[in-house]
Amino acid sequence: MTIFWSKHSLEKIKDRNLPKESVSKTIAAPDFLIQGRENKFEAYRKFGKKYLKVVYFNRKNHQIVVTAHYVDRIKNI
């Protein structure tokens, strides 16, 4: 599937020095995946001691990344 990057996500990924490859890996093979409303997902993948959280919308043939950042733990789990 193709990944589209919102302007906000590109700014935050750059500000936070996150490799786009890590964001793509998190979407493709998350350790945990939480589905929200309207095809909104939170994908989590562990990198070192923290989890990379990627928020994105799942569309028919692509995903749209909203934001990404590191968290210490996964909410609601």
Phi (first) and psi of residue 62, to 5 degrees: -160, 170
Inside any domain, residue 76: no
pLDDT tens digits for range 13-52: 999 999 999 999 999 999 999 998 889 999 999 999 999 9
What is this structure's pTM? 0.92
List the end-to-end C-alpha distance of the chain, in Å, as a whole number.
Answer: 27
pLDDT at 75 over 70: yes
pLDDT of residue 8: 95
36 to 16, 39, 43, 48: CA distances (angstroms): 24, 7, 11, 26
Tell me the CATH number at 17.
3.30.2310.20
Confidence class for position 77, pLDDT limits 50, 70, 90: low
Confidence class for position 69, pLDDT limits 50, 70, 90: very high
Inside any domain, residue 19: yes
- CA gap 33, 64 in Å, rounded: 15
Q: Which domain holds residue 14?
A: 2-71
pLDDT of residue 38: 86
